[in-house]
Amino acid sequence: MSRPFSNVALFGKPRAENIREPLLAIARIVESAGAKVLFDAATRELVQLDEYPGHSVHAIGKQADVAIVLGGDGTMLGIARELAPHQVPLIGINHGRLGFMTDVSLDQMAEALVPMLRGAYETDRRVLLDGEVRRGGKATFHAAALNDIVVSRGVTGGMVEYTVRVDGAVMYNQRADAVIVATPTGSTAYALSADGPILYPSLAGLLLVPVAPQTLSNRPIVLNDDVVIEIEITDERDAMAHFDMQSYEQLAPGDIVRVKRSAHVATLLHPVGYNFFATLRQKLHWSVMPSEPHSRG
């Protein structure tokens, strides 16, 4: 049992419908547990919560003991990246679709939050990626990612041609629709739809997955998470670099996307008894057996 939380930040999914009442319900639960509510300023403005002051993300990073995020995995990705440098742990309440990281459902909210706020929870640390675009030997763009960094074809279509290097050694030259560098967290996102393996969240590995490669023998590979991966654009076609699919940078021939493990981690908190395999069974229907045909009498 850990210490109870005293200052609890609250974030809501941007532009979400019907989010005001759940946010107020969470605020009341936090206050009933004896903690102070720190509403994110953008969330407060979104739902016009005049009864609470708003706080910047920077101020929340300095004051909050924990942050509750009401939304889907996309909302959690954005908040996790912002709060990771401040070492603020996160609790996710699902107001989206799949909810791998926002694993507490709305109907379980009251039952789950009270013991968590009082110090009863499971801790789950997730690696982030540190990515940058380099042009002419200089860094021109930088962003972090919790799920993945993707180099893909640009608006003109066609395949993107690139060279992958790992710690300076050439791995391969390839033409594909895209190539994904994913964390274990991101292994259940875009990488999974491209036939990549699922990595256990605490595994010290990074996943490299080509999307629709021209060379059909090219397959996903898991690398140590202490390597530096470089993806260099080698064709005249335009390309894009996406960071958690929430920020992007256009790429030109000769540009290099450099990816390595970030110095920061995102800390997710779960109710006591949380199990990753149970999440996979629930979200990916691992427990569903093929139905048998009805016997004919």
Q: Is 130 a catalytic residue?
A: no
Cα 9 to chain centroid distance, Å, stands at: 19
Q: Which pair of structure tokens corresponds to residue 190?
A: 């875009």
- Report the candidate in 252, 244, 5, 268 with the shortest Cα–Cα distance to residue 131: 244
Q: How many residues does the chain have?
A: 297
Place of tokens 């609890």: 8
Whether 47 and 12 have beta carbons less than 8 Å apart is answered as yes
Dihedral sign from CA coordinates of 95, 148, 193, 90: negative
Angstrom distance (rounded) from CA 92 to CA 109: 10
Of 40, 73, 124, 244, catalytic: 73
φ, ψ at 193 (rounded to 5°): -70, -15
Largest CA-CA distance found in the chain, in angstroms, rounded: 75
Enzyme catalytic residues? 73
